[in-house]
Structure 1
């Protein structure tokens, strides 16, 4: 290790350069990221704010692209760099730990979701309710979860239905159980997506607070957080919680959007508080940020590729039967979000 590398690994004083602008960045990024995440959520629920469907679809597919690019360019790449830092012990260079942690994250989420889905499906089968396997994801429009197929597919009426077409209390209980299971699954999906995005946002806020080339990074992160907020918000806005109370269904996406908006400002505030002792290039900082980035990249990869792309394009009945123009519009919107977010990786 060269003497220059050794000095970079030692604790440094980041000083008070651009201190006023750094403090202001807490509030500027709070406004931009929160607005980006909340706008799609509130637009769907607003009676006076009428967003054209084409624009809303653009935001939704654009958001999928943003999330996928974030996983690869803004999380996995920095994780590889951090865990291969010269500040770390030589043993860290003997194995691609960042890739292994990303793989671990993907497999863990897959197994947890698989177990939860099998358990939920078995429970619904016991009470005679069929479940659409492709409708449980965040923002999926395949079927939005469990269906009472006895009614949905035109089969014979359930045995608990009276001659006048009313469903008995027992049948209502079955449907309620199915929608409750779907609600729990969607809330878990929100939590998984939020987990990956929040960790990433806190880390980039911490980096911004102590970065020497602050002005360039500040401008880039404003766009970064706004785009990522729009991506997250567009997915949250499509979540339906049929088994939840009206108040819960309304506030869960809003609270998730607000938490995202707070994450980067919190990271900046922490970074400003410890700026005289924190060195982002130190061994400890590299390990912590590298491990968290690698785990978060796996979360967003799984969410973006499986829960969003696969369920939105391959398993979505509406998209399967859509016109070529609508399909091209959706793909172009997704590629636009992916491309812009990947381009921002040139600077942040």
Structure 2
């Protein structure tokens, strides 16, 4: 019960801070404090994948209880982690393309409807206003065809001058749509990776019977659960989901590890952690989780923020973000001494 309560509080607190802070304008997603905290959380996630999950996978898949062939002859932990990272890349790319295509079709539909409405309104106004103006100009002895040509030239000249501004606005819209789509995809894939390894860790803690192992493991889990929740909550906040969707994603993340602890506790008596089948399953799942977390930390959290234009234009922010990143990685790595 102590493990479930501590991990649940840490997860809820971590994922709620960015979401509540966005509503209260305390922790804005465009603020310096948010960027530094997200960099620290990215370091925690990266260290979780490399130092904790990948090491646990290697330990399980090279256990002496497993047959020498094939488990001792090939580094399966790194292989499965690589496959998971490449699979995450494919899912990331395909999801981004799908969402961008969907947004593009929606934007085209809205623009077509707006253009049709504007054309109808312009045509109606022209019919009403043209007759008096035409009569007045003809009354001065002008050629009617000459007057029509002047109006056509003026309309064409006005359209030509407004054209570059339209292009700039279109590019801005495309950039905003692409950024929004990336935030949506990143938040969903990050939740998938965090949830998958949270369940595994919860099961491992639940089946553990040694108090000397449980206590430091609870501390490590609470620490990384808090900062993983913060990173996920920040991505959800940047994706601008509706309140109901954001609350559902946050709740799903918060309950996965405690639920895994509960299931592991219930299965503790029937579960033999030293059986070959259990070792293989645990090692493969740990490897997959490590690959997903490493990909998400490096590509969608670290590279996306550290290679952005905003970061490159602010030297102080660069230095502070790198310090936060290395502190997060070092803090999570140091917990491997006890857990």
TM-score (norm 2): 0.72
Whole-angstrom distance in 1 between the partners of 2:248 and 2:106: 33
Query: Which residue of 2 is the match for residue 319 of structure 1?
Result: 311
| Contact 1:224 1:344 (C-alpha < 8 Å) held by counterparts | no
Whole-angstrom distance in 1 between the partners of 2:245 and 2:331: 29
Question: What is the number of equivalent residue pairs in this alignment?
Answer: 282
TM-score (norm 1): 0.70
- Post-superposition shift, 1:282? 1.9
Query: Which residue of 1 is the match for residue 155 of structure 2?
Result: none
- Post-superposition shift, 1:31? 1.6
Alignment of 1:99-178 (within 5 A): 99-117=78-96, 156-158=164-166
User: Which runs of no fewer than 5 residues in structure 2 stay unpaired?
Assistant: 109-161
CA RMSD of aligned residues (A): 3.4
Query: Which residue of 1 is the match for residue 6 of structure 2?
Result: 28
Whole-angstrom distance in 2 between the partners of 1:336 and 1:208: 26
Q: 2:248 aligns with which of 250, 255, 271?
A: 255
- Post-superposition shift, 1:74? 1.6
Whole-angstrom distance in 2 between the partners of 1:235 and 1:212: 31
Please give the secondary structure, in 2, of the residue aligned with 1:237. helix
| Contact 1:83 1:98 (C-alpha < 8 Å) held by counterparts | yes
Return the structure number with greater helix share.
Answer: 2
- Post-superposition shift, 1:271? 1.2
User: Which runs of no fewer than 5 residues in structure 1 stay unpaired?
Assistant: 1-22, 130-153, 162-166, 243-247
- Post-superposition shift, 1:103? 0.9
Whole-angstrom distance in 2 between the partners of 1:155 and 1:226: 54
- Post-superposition shift, 1:235? 4.4
Q: 2:198 aligns with which of 201, 211, 214?
A: 201
Whole-angstrom distance in 2 between the partners of 1:76 and 1:187: 27
1:335 aligns with 2:332: no
1:217 aligns with 2:219: no
| Contact 2:92 2:185 (C-alpha < 8 Å) held by counterparts | no
Whose RCO is larger (CA < 8 A, sep 6+)? 2
Please give the secondary structure, in 2, of the residue aligned with 1:279. coil
Query: Which residue of 2 is the match for residue 43 of structure 1?
Result: 21
Cα separation, partners in 2 of 1:118 and 1:57, compared to 1, 3 Å: closer
Whole-angstrom distance in 1 between the partners of 2:208 and 2:253: 22
